[in-house]
Amino acid sequence: LVDTLIYKNDVHDYLKNYMQIGEDDHLAVLGLKETMNIKKNIPKDKSGNIVAVYYAFGTIDDSGISFGEESISSEKVIKDLRKLKKDEDVKAVVLRINSLGGSAYGSEQIWYAINELKKEKPVVVSMGDYAASGGYYISCPADCIVAEPTTLTGSIGIFGMIPNAEKLANKVGVKFDVVKTNKYSDFGSLNRPLNTGEQALVQMAINHGYDIFLTRCAEGRNMSKEDIDNIAQGRVWTGAKAKELGLVDELGGI
């Protein structure tokens, strides 16, 4: 049903190869943000020996559009990290993270982009008040993680919700007429609860996502998945306790 599997981080390279465009040549892409002329021009230090500090604050989303200052658009982060990777003047990157998580898909895309960046230059994560769930997901691949003693971190886990508005619809007199081609055609419909088979599918997807989360943390922290699972399962830790558990390397501020 599909031709290949790639991360968002590799889409530009894939398109260049597909269109036979040179690696160093510009790939002209016009996205929604460019169309809306939303762009921040940041003056660049020309010293040639830069430690870049990149701020990632807010909820992680994968919509491609950052709604205000307190959100982390995975698409924007990926684009920015690619620039930092290619910038020869940048010798190391500090990621300042203040996030309680968000989209599992967006977190995975950012995780991959950080791993790619780490191949070229050191990456250090500085945790703010909190870097939990998806916030820890995008922190774990760093070469070094620094947290405040009072930082809230961990929350290694995943959950999913599908709302059921059946009672509300009945109350306001909204009726649904469903035509299906197979038993899962209306999967996730708001007008009824999930049946047993659908619940099993949702649980399977959640279990798969949790297993990937454990794997990413185990790889990043050089621990076994079993050891990570013992301190995961959605539990939240202070920065001081997280250091004892091996989830962070040092205590301190940016």
Please give the pLDDT value at position 138. 97
Let me know whether 248 and 130 are in one domain. Answer: yes
In a domain, 43, yes or no: no
End-to-end CA distance of the chain: 46
Please give the pLDDT value at position 3. 84
In a domain, 12, yes or no: no
In a domain, 94, yes or no: yes
Let me know whether 61 and 186 are in one domain. Answer: no
Highest mean pLDDT among 18-27, 123-132, 164-173: 123-132
Give dist(CA 100, CA 89) in Å, integer.
32
Higher pLDDT, 29 or 77: 77
The three-state secondary structure class of 234 is coil
**Average model confidence (pLDDT) across the chain:** 88
In a domain, 95, yes or no: yes
pLDDT higher than 60, residue 197: yes
In a domain, 18, yes or no: no
Helical spans, DSSP H, in the chain: 11-18, 32-35, 74-86, 104-118, 134-137, 166-172, 196-221, 225-230, 239-245
In a domain, 28, yes or no: no
Please give the pLDDT value at position 176. 87
| Percentage helix, strand, coil for the chain under 3-state DSSP, each rounded to 5 | 35, 20, 45
Please give the pLDDT value at position 24. 77
CA of residue 29 relative to chain centroid, distance:
23
Let me know whether 97 and 78 are in one domain. Answer: yes
Let me know whether 98 and 184 are in one domain. Answer: no
In a domain, 200, yes or no: yes
In a domain, 193, yes or no: yes
How is residue 51 annotated by DSSP?
A: E
Let me know whether 249 and 142 are in one domain. Answer: yes
Give dist(CA 233, CA 252) in Å, integer.
26
* Count of structural domains, the chain: 2
Let me know whether 178 and 189 are in one domain. Answer: yes
The CATH number given to whatever domain includes residue 164 is 3.40.1750.10
pLDDT higher than 50, residue 163: yes
How is residue 40 annotated by DSSP?
A: -
pLDDT tens string 39-97: 454 555 566 788 999 999 999 998 766 555 578 999 999 999 999 999 999 999 999 99
Let me know whether 221 and 240 are in one domain. Answer: no
pLDDT higher than 50, residue 189: yes
- CA dihedral (40, 43, 47, 50) positive or negative: negative
Let me know whether 136 and 242 are in one domain. Answer: yes
- Residue 13 burial by Cβ neighbours in a 10 Å radius (0-12, 13-18, 19+): middle
Let me know whether 150 and 72 are in one domain. Answer: yes
Please give the pLDDT value at position 44. 59
The CATH number given to whatever domain includes residue 251 is 3.90.226.10
Show Cβ contacts of residue 61 under 8 Å, excluding neighbours closer than 6 positions: 67, 71, 72, 73, 74, 102, 103, 106
Let me know whether 77 and 183 are in one domain. Answer: no
Let me know whether 133 and 241 are in one domain. Answer: yes
pTM more than 0.85: no
pLDDT tens string 87-144: 999 999 999 999 999 999 999 999 999 999 999 999 999 999 999 999 999 999 999 9
- What is the span of the domain harbouring residue 55? 51-155+235-254
Let me know whether 208 and 171 are in one domain. Answer: yes
